Amino acid sequence: MNARCFLVCAVASLIAGSVRGADAPKVPAGYKLLYEQDFSKPEALKDFTFSDPAAWRLAKEQGKPTLELHKQSVYKPEHRSPLNIALIADKVFGDFVLEVEVLSTKKPYPHQDMCLFFGFVGPMEYYYNHVAVAADPNAHNVFIVNHAPRKNFAKETTKGVIWGERVWHKLRAERDTQAGTYKVFFDDFSKPIMHAEDKTFLKGHLGFGSFDDIGMVTNIKVWGPSVEARKTEFFKRAE
């Protein structure tokens, strides 16, 4: 190999490496991919447990296989809290980075929402992140359910997001349990749309859904230092 050829190959290699680096997700040192799901196979439903399995199904949207929340769940929580919940079953996460594609099929209105669930210990002990069009005390915030109606606790939040109708968006959530921090990003991963702090539930299930709207999720990826296997004793699996 002559010097010119070597130089060209070296430059090409550096360019390719920089492109791969730009595309690669940014996660803390020591994190590894713990879970992923793109819903391309029928058995994907077995990965989840639901507040109402009849409200969820596999579908396709714009060529993407998805998990669809297609109707309201028949579910009555003891305290005022979300109705439509799908949890990754049998896996408990502490620190994590979550990336997922989410789409709302609801006609736009101020409380149009989709939710992320984390630190889910049980139906009366968990956090959820309500991402909505307009912020108010009950919308577009991070909430805790702890044997009482949901209560918001985000330290910072934006005025809301634009879901549109049947438009895919990318969400990224980051949790550091030692610091007690939780951040969520909407499409632009350079600046969070919410920042919250709490250490009540340090480990729990991750999940997806809506307070009382409908929508879809796909391309779920979760990174973290470790995941704990723990059988999910609440909610139901799809038959």
User: What digits encode the pLDDT tens for the residues 132-180?
Assistant: 999 999 999 999 999 999 999 999 999 999 999 999 999 999 999 999 9
CA distance 83 to 212: 6
Report which of residues 233 and 48 the model is more confident about.
Answer: 48
Predicted local distance difference test score (pLDDT) of residue 25: 67
∠ CA 235-236-239, nearest 5°, is 170
Read off the pTM: 0.89
CA distance 116 to 14: 38
Predicted local distance difference test score (pLDDT) of residue 233: 87
Q: Which three-class secondary structure state does DSSP give residue 82?
A: coil
Predicted local distance difference test score (pLDDT) of residue 193: 98
Q: Give the distance between the most distant pair of CA atoms in the chain.
A: 74
CA distance 222 to 117: 13
Predicted local distance difference test score (pLDDT) of residue 48: 97
pLDDT at 23 over 60: no
Contact 138, 178 (CB under 8 A): no
Predicted local distance difference test score (pLDDT) of residue 24: 53
Q: Under CATH, which number does the domain 31-229 receive?
A: 2.60.120.560
Domain spans, the chain: 31-229
